[in-house]
A and B are shown apart, each in its own frame.
Chain A
């Protein structure tokens, strides 16, 4: 009965492994084509339509080379246990050259602070999440189309399917930029700061004579003005250091007297401080700890083992003491007894015992007559 139970438990454990699927922890932000280039998630046998709703908010008119924001809101998805959601921003859905940069766009910032067209995010318990890409419109004017796609897991997910949803194309009419319109420099991207770093944030512009910057913590409603200094087309905005998981957003207004353009909100991209360990240090530290543990445990083994000369097992004195039993109380040794006897001139051959108060025959000089 017991062995049968054991076998059943082992079989149950083996079946439990099928709950595991490939890359359940995601693959990280990346530059990707539609459905990862038609791989796993594009296979109809491995995917299924998502039950989520995806909406896109984008200005249908943009000027070439100027910044614009694309807001993607996903909600109502059935998610896997880790609530991970992957979101694509695409310019076509052919399976290759789908990246917006392949069509002239320049991603200034993705929702995670990087410059990728595919990001992964953990959906909050509310089940809804809004992601914002800030991009520079193509320098070539014309009609552009933007698509978004999401994919995620599900719980339970017995078929190991990827669930995906795909939006219609959102048309953006890119117009030639008006003469002298102030904006970000084409080659500028927001820099990434290290946690705790409060050095000035550098902003590069074109056609701009003045810049103002406002910042606020994510979730705040009232922005604060930041101090800005200039060096030609390079501006330095003093933003507070990012600590922990807090995210700071900032908005730049570029002006030149003729125009004043309020740019989309950007996020201060923060990364942890660079790790200061190196491989030989790690190897040396590991080996040192290992040797110290060995030395400690081996000395402990020696201490506990019965080695020759160990004081605890040398019982010679105790054994010897046990072999010679102590004299019974009151019994004196012979030497003590004879030494206390006093010879007497009046009674030759006899010794006086002052303790017992009696005469004892002297064995070295027996009394005459053999008494």
Chain B
């Protein structure tokens, strides 16, 4: 048998690995759309675009499936106790990463591969993937800080706040949760229906 911490480490590696692939491909698609002549137009060729699009959605879906497993196993590894700001922020960054990745996947599925033909939508998808990756790496780097006392982010210029946490009152969190659910209902039911973009 193995402990929850070992299982969590394995799941986190699956999530980060597949998300990294998804991010690289999504950002590649966005760059190819915005700057079609980059790399002599090879990046924006149909073959490369189709490959990157499929890799990004596959990576994001795989990561999204494994993310709840990683989060739950991490929670068990910490004995379901949050006793410091780092651990609290790990939860918060995981939630944010989930929101960004879910938005990326839903956007790609609803709008279809034609999403990369629109500059503004393409830029939005690329930025969403980049932000999602930032949140994912923050959550995983906090894991490194907790277990080994160090992280690759120590040598990176980017390090989002993690040593101190903004702990919301659970009632306020519950209200925000309801607001989030209501906002999603409005977006899906009452808002304009996003349609699949037909390919040229």
> In this assembly, does B94 line the interface, its C-beta being within 8 Å of a C-beta of chain A?
yes
Q: How many residues of B contact A (CB 8 A)?
A: 57
Partner of B100, one of A277, A278, A282, A297: A297
> In this assembly, does A305 line the interface, its C-beta being within 8 Å of a C-beta of chain B?
yes
Mask for B184-200, Cβ within 8 A of A = 1, else 0? 10111001111101000
Give the interface SS of chain A, mostly helix, strand, loop or mixed.
helix
Q: How many A-B residue pairs have CB under 8 A?
A: 163
Also in contact, A289 and B81, with CB within 8 A (given A301-B110, A307-B193, A307-B194): no
> In this assembly, does A288 line the interface, its C-beta being within 8 Å of a C-beta of chain B?
yes
Whether B180 and A299, one on each chain, are in contact in the complex, defined by CB atoms closer than 8 angstroms, is no
Also in contact, A302 and B187, with CB within 8 A (given A291-B99, A293-B103): yes
Min Cβ gap B121→A in Å is 5
> In this assembly, does B10 line the interface, its C-beta being within 8 Å of a C-beta of chain A?
no
> In this assembly, does B55 line the interface, its C-beta being within 8 Å of a C-beta of chain A?
no
Partner of B177, one of A287, A301, A304: A287
Find the B residue at minimum CB distance from A307.
B192
> In this assembly, does B4 line the interface, its C-beta being within 8 Å of a C-beta of chain A?
no
Q: How many residues of A contact B (CB 8 A)?
A: 41
Whether B176 and A278, one on each chain, are in contact in the complex, defined by CB atoms closer than 8 angstroms, is no
Min Cβ gap A294→B in Å is 5
> In this assembly, does A334 line the interface, its C-beta being within 8 Å of a C-beta of chain B?
no
Pick from B81, B85, B87, B167 the residue with the most CB of A within 10 Å.
Answer: B167
Residues of A within 8 A of B193 (CB): 302, 307-308
Partner of B88, one of A25, A282, A300: A282
Mask for B87-98, Cβ within 8 A of A = 1, else 0? 110011111111
A283–B128 alpha-carbon span in the complex (Å): 22
Also in contact, A284 and B173, with CB within 8 A (given A277-B165, A302-B192, A305-B118): yes
Whether A281 and B168, one on each chain, are in contact in the complex, defined by CB atoms closer than 8 angstroms, is yes
Whether B103 and A297, one on each chain, are in contact in the complex, defined by CB atoms closer than 8 angstroms, is yes
Interface residues of B in 141-184 (CB under 8 A from A): 148-150, 165, 167-170, 173-174, 176-177, 179-181, 183-184
Whether B197 and A299, one on each chain, are in contact in the complex, defined by CB atoms closer than 8 angstroms, is no
Also in contact, A302 and B103, with CB within 8 A (given A288-B173, A294-B180): no
Whether A279 and B124, one on each chain, are in contact in the complex, defined by CB atoms closer than 8 angstroms, is no
> In this assembly, does A315 line the interface, its C-beta being within 8 Å of a C-beta of chain B?
no
Interface residues of A in 262-299 (CB under 8 A from B): 275-299
A42–B191 alpha-carbon span in the complex (Å): 67
Residues of B within 8 A of A155 (CB): none
Find the B residue at minimum CB distance from A27.
B149
Mask for A60-99, Cβ within 8 A of B = 1, else 0? 0000000000000000000000100000000000000000
Min Cβ gap A360→B in Å is 58
Residues of A within 8 A of B124 (CB): 297, 300-301, 304
A302–B92 alpha-carbon span in the complex (Å): 26
> In this assembly, does B51 line the interface, its C-beta being within 8 Å of a C-beta of chain A?
no
> In this assembly, does B65 line the interface, its C-beta being within 8 Å of a C-beta of chain A?
no
A308–B192 alpha-carbon span in the complex (Å): 8
Whether B111 and A288, one on each chain, are in contact in the complex, defined by CB atoms closer than 8 angstroms, is no
Also in contact, A292 and B99, with CB within 8 A (given A275-B82, A275-B85, A285-B173): yes
Residues of B within 8 A of A196 (CB): none
Interface residues of B in 35-49 (CB under 8 A from A): none
Please give 18 more A-B residue pairs, beta carbons under 8 A apart, in addition to A26-B149, A294-B102: A82-B150, A279-B81, A279-B82, A281-B169, A282-B87, A282-B91, A285-B95, A286-B92, A288-B173, A289-B96, A289-B176, A290-B95, A292-B176, A293-B99, A299-B187, A301-B107, A301-B124, A304-B118
A-B pairs, top 7 by smallest CB distance, nearest first, are A25-B149, A286-B95, A291-B180, A290-B99, A293-B99, A295-B183, A297-B103
Report which B residues bind A (CB closer than 8 A). Answer: 75, 80-85, 87-88, 91-100, 102-103, 106-107, 110-111, 115, 118, 120-121, 124, 128, 148-150, 165, 167-170, 173-174, 176-177, 179-181, 183-184, 186-188, 191-195, 197
Report which A residues bind B (CB closer than 8 A). Answer: 23-26, 82, 275-310
**A/B interface sample: 21 pairs, CB < 8 A:** A277-B88, A277-B165, A278-B170, A279-B75, A281-B173, A284-B174, A285-B92, A286-B98, A288-B180, A290-B96, A292-B99, A293-B96, A294-B106, A298-B106, A299-B183, A304-B118, A304-B121, A305-B115, A305-B118, A305-B194, A307-B192
